[in-house]
Structure 1
């Protein structure tokens, strides 16, 4: 396997060594809780941009859940236990909040999958600690949109974030954009658990001569 294919494989190889890939299998319907109207527009714009990059679709409503990409902002993790009906959407919410507090985490994502293994819903939790509050809204929005358009590895962006700064503005790194576009190629599967999938992705990233 060459270097480029290895980089692609690393994006979906988890800390336990398992290769796990999934993309959305239905139109994305986002809703954002805990932000003002201006920030809401920024988040929806970022999600639309990444969905468009993937040649995927958005919709006004999801027939099963109403909204299927739910983003929650809070100041303290304990606030999540007060959100009506959230414990029905996120089983074991109480223990999860305890783990997030113990880890002093400032973000967490949960994905749900359909029978074919494609993403059917995602829940994003963001705690506005000092670091998170210092990130511009458009940067934060684009980062979260990128990290929910695919099921990336839990260590995909440990060494390098998905965004880069160009003249002070956050933009999606070209190699990440290439992976997203390739992942949503109609001939590619919605879910994969074999590393040979990374070779197929790489083949769609490389320009044909």
Structure 2
């Protein structure tokens, strides 16, 4: 991947560069799935976290859980989720915006004092497009999208997964490389400097 390609992955719609990774072990909880799918989602999270060289945890000492994944059929279900409005004070307007946009997923991140990710909320509406995919692919896709603070435009044309020869959807090798080098201990947990993309690209070339 070229430096320009890496830069595009973290350049926001307003033109500003912003990279962030998790600054603490990830303690996930999943809502709206059966036990089999729950194991699939957690397995995908574990695989992507292992790729990053990061850590999972049973709980977060400050927050209890710091990654909440909600799977639902209709956005109106969010308004019916007990106490969710305490976590998302503008829940009503958010639901309206998601319905109007016809969105099938939404992510909200929170950050620590250093700018690293400390919590994330992931909402996935299982529309016809997502429901047609294997659960393993949906789970892997969401795990990848939450491991770093990608630009909201990063995967608009090409998603993070590609078909393997056996037909399974797997992580694109270049995206796997970005995740791995993004968690290199010598790299900052957060950066607004576009030169950060050059450093990522250089490390990808070195390690590749």
Q: For the aligned residues, what is the CA RMSD?
A: 1.2
1:73 maps to 71
1:141 aligns with 2:139: yes
1:202 aligns with 2:201: yes
The unaligned stretches of length 5 or more in structure 2 are: none
Distance (Å, rounded) in 1 between the aligned partners of 2:157 and 2:128? 22
Query: How far did 1:129 drift?
Result: 1.4
Q: How does 1:177-188 map to 2 (within 5 A)?
A: 177-188=176-187
Query: How far did 1:208 drift?
Result: 6.2
Distance (Å, rounded) in 1 between the aligned partners of 2:187 and 2:137? 29
Distance (Å, rounded) in 2 between the aligned partners of 1:12 and 1:208? 21
Return the TM-score normalized by structure 1.
0.96
Return the TM-score normalized by structure 2.
0.97
Query: How far did 1:207 drift?
Result: 2.4
1:24 aligns with 2:32: no
Query: How far did 1:69 drift?
Result: 0.7
Sort the Cα spacing of 1:208 and 1:180 in 2 relative to 1 into closer, same or farther, 3 A.
closer
Distance (Å, rounded) in 1 between the aligned partners of 2:173 and 2:73? 33
What secondary structure does 2:6 align onto? helix
1:176 maps to 175
Distance (Å, rounded) in 2 between the aligned partners of 1:158 and 1:127? 17
